Amino acid sequence: MCGIVGYIGKKPAAPLLLHGLSKLEYRGYDSAGIALAQPGHLTVYKSVGRLQVLFDQVSGGEELPQTVGIGHTRWATHGKPSDENSHPHLSLHGRFAVVHNGIIENYAQLKKELQENGVAFRSETDTEVVAQLLEKHDSEDMLRTVQNTVKELVGSYALGILNAAQPDEIFAVRRASPLIVGVARHGYFIASDIPAILPHTRRFIPLADGEIARLRRGEITVWDEAGKVVEKPVQEVTWDISSAEKGGYKHFMIKEIMEQPDALAATISPRINDKNEIVLDGIHLTEEELKSIRRIAIVACGSAYHAGVVGKYLIEKLTRIPVEVDIASEFRYRDPLIDKHSLVIIISQSGETADTLAALREAKARGARVLSVVNVVGSSIAAESDDVLYTWAGPEISVATTKAYSTQLTMLYLIGFYIAEKLGTLTREEVLSLLHELKRLPDQLRGILGLAPQLKQLAQRYAYLEHAFFIGRNLDYAVALEASLKLKEISYIHSEAYAAGELKHGTISLIEDGTFVVALACSPDTVEKTLSNMKEVKARGAEVLLLTTEEHRQLAEEADHTIYLPRVHPLLTASVEIVPLQLFGYYVALARRCDIDKPRNLAKSVTVE
Ligand code: G6P
């Protein structure tokens, strides 16, 4: 996830681009850059670090006269944050400059082919192949050059393109990454999101998938995928600036909940190739090394630890290697039984959590191989791990994690399938069927997000609770831990997650008339057992919200409210089960008027012990 802008008009472009980028920093802030066009020459200014560094480098852009340019703020995916990896990227002879948001999935293959033809690359990014391909297809007709270039690309991309030979135009392309054209009195813009254009205009044209736009002074032309000119109506923004930054949502948390289908797709799709093989680019473990693993330890904090609890059930079941899961602050001080035959999987959204980083160092000191699952590219945990797999969730701003947690689950599924196939505990056919199910998850999540109005209503009814309990068994219990934390951390309601079978050993004494209990019953092996536990709490006066799948409709009659979820593979239930409970937590906190994105006493990245 990155932010792109472009401007062509009557005013100097640089200050407008910089201001536009400042409104897109929520999409990433590892580095920033701009490219400005003048006849026969493109000038690039770029720098690693926050936008302010670039701003200082060009003194706010006030002295730069060019009136055509593109800009970028980066959230690193391919290649660490550095000056070289910053956008815009120039082609070999500087004829084209490109800014890109998205992932070019076939970039390695394209890069290899270009290199074999003598093209020297300057960066480690996937984006640079786009600049080099434009030069390869360079022709008198810029539209054809762009069309021939995008024909070679697989993946997601919003692109802004400058051509030194035609400095009075900007080309923009959109596929599976957001992009709009802004229509102001003094000129035209392209932008990843509306806030970037709002100071200048409320009028915009949303581009559809596969469309190519050309912006000239006083003229906007849009072609569809087939190369036909399309008439695009101009729309009007009705939001104010602050809600526009949140994509029209009231809080980042709900925006990030809603982004989960796309985040999952971004994490999954580059990891499964055309032959349906799992490609874990960040794992360098050989088959020999995998076979020598005697135990796996998953270590993390907070929600990342809860993702790890799901990982334990799953990886152990699939690989038959003993897996333990531990909280990083416990692991680091308990003299863990870890050696060179251990694989330690570290999970962290930020890659900077102090206890998790210390646990990683402890594991390495004991000779273990460390594989990390991290969202922030170039973070400390990523840098110190032997192998790194990135969850491409994009920047997460709300303190309570949602999309990062969901992509961590996805990455753990892929790791489980990958190791199991290598060790032969899963056959190719079994892996194929699991991958088929995995690829369906983003769409299934889209369907579940449609339950938002129902959950909002329910949340209003339970907004003034003092206590809540979440119960489940096995994978359902793992999700109960996360669902309970979500409710607790943003609504300040006291909440506990319990293994359903353990209730009767003490906690059931807290159940009385009106106690709120959420029962999670989606794991087919334990559904009936959990439903019995649900009846036990009902018999003592509890009000129960049940989550289960359609086929258990008749068993659900005992519950006060039921949320039915689509049937997914039994190993993947956590991904669908958590979403309604994130929504429930959000709407309860909303009804209680809590500071949802910044709950009291909490921080997004905990860099102290
Ligand atoms: C904080 C955040 C949690 C997160 C935990 C671990 O407590 O509020 O959402 O799960 O840290 O953070 P990490 O960045 O390591 O995933």
To the query of whether residue 594 is one of the catalytic residues in this protein, the response is no
pLDDT at 268: 95
With 70 as the cut, is the pLDDT of residue 93 above it?
yes
**Average of per-residue pLDDT across 551-564:** 86
DSSP assignment, residue 93? Answer: T
pLDDT at 573: 96
DSSP secondary structure letters along 237-303: --S-HHHHHTTT-SSHHHHHHHTHHHHHHHHHGGGB-TTS-B--TT----HHHHHT--EEEEEE-HH
- 56-85 per-position pLDDT tens digit: 999 999 999 999 999 999 988 888 899 999
**Average of per-residue pLDDT across 218-237:** 93
With 70 as the cut, is the pLDDT of residue 238 above it?
no
With 90 as the cut, is the pLDDT of residue 354 above it?
no
Q: What is the pTM of this model?
A: 0.78
Q: Is 3-244's fold the same as 452-591's?
A: no
Cα(606) to ligand 1 centroid in Å equals 7
Q: Which one of 3.60.20.10, 2.40.220.10, 3.60.21.10, 3.30.365.10 gives the CATH number of domain 3-244?
A: 3.60.20.10
Q: Pick the atom of ligand 1 nearest to 306's CA.
A: 10
Residue with CA closest to ligand 1 atom 15: 348
Are β-strands 235-236 and 89-90 bridged in parallel, bridged antiparallel, or unpaired? unpaired
How many Å apart are CA 224 and CA 237, to the nearest integer?
Answer: 24
With 90 as the cut, is the pLDDT of residue 30 above it?
no
**Average of per-residue pLDDT across 119-140:** 96
- 433-443 per-position pLDDT tens digit: 999 999 999 99
Catalytic residue among 2, 301, 522, 594: 2
Q: Pick the atom of ligand 1 nearest to 405's CA.
A: 10
To the query of whether residue 301 is one of the catalytic residues in this protein, the response is no
**Average of per-residue pLDDT across 390-404:** 91
**Where residue 285 falls among pLDDT bands split at 50, 70, 90?**
confident
Cα(279) to ligand 1 centroid in Å equals 27
**Three-state secondary structure string covering 407-462:** HHHHHHHHHHHHHHHHHCCCCHHHHHHHHHHHHHHHHHHHHHHCCHHHHHHHHHHC
- 447-473 per-position pLDDT tens digit: 999 999 999 999 999 999 999 999 999
How many Å apart are CA 366 and CA 334, to the nearest integer?
Answer: 13
Can you give the residue ranges of every domain in the chain? 3-244, 252-448, 452-591
**Average of per-residue pLDDT across 198-225:** 94
Q: Which residue carries 């994978």 as its tokens?
A: 475
pLDDT at 133: 98
- 478-531 per-position pLDDT tens digit: 999 999 999 999 999 999 999 999 988 988 899 999 999 999 999 989 998 999
% of the chain beyond a pLDDT of 90: 82
Non-local CB neighbours of 582 within 8 Å, separated by 6+ positions: 257, 402, 483, 486
**3-class SS of residue 514:** coil
Non-local CB neighbours of 159 within 8 Å, separated by 6+ positions: 4, 98, 99, 100, 130, 150, 171, 172, 173, 174
**Where residue 601 falls among pLDDT bands split at 50, 70, 90?**
confident
Helices 403-423/573-591 angle, 10° precision: 170
Cα(600) to ligand 1 centroid in Å equals 15
Stated length of the chain: 609
DSSP assignment, residue 493? Answer: -
How many Å apart are CA 585 and CA 487, to the nearest integer?
Answer: 4
**Where residue 242 falls among pLDDT bands split at 50, 70, 90?**
low
CATH code of domain 452-591? 3.40.50.10490
- Of the residues 257, 303, 396, 412, which should be mutated to test ligand 1's pocket, given the most ligand atoms within 8 Å of the CB? 303
- 363-392 per-position pLDDT tens digit: 999 999 999 999 987 688 998 999 999 998
For domain 252-448, give the fold.
Answer: Rossmann fold (3.40.50)
**Average of per-residue pLDDT across 343-369:** 95
Cα(390) to ligand 1 centroid in Å equals 16
Q: Look at residues 504, 498, 467 and name the one whose alpha carbon lies nearest to residue 480.
A: 498
- Of the residues 401, 408, 411, which should be mutated to test ligand 1's pocket, given the most ligand atoms within 8 Å of the CB? 401
Cα(602) to ligand 1 centroid in Å equals 10
Q: Give the chain's count of helices (H) and strands (E).
A: 19, 24
Are β-strands 369-374 and 387-390 bridged in parallel, bridged antiparallel, or unpaired? parallel
- Which run of H or of E encompasses 103? strand 96-104
**Average of per-residue pLDDT across 86-96:** 97
Residues at CB less than 6 angstroms from ligand 1: 301-304, 348-350, 353, 356, 399, 401, 602, 604-606
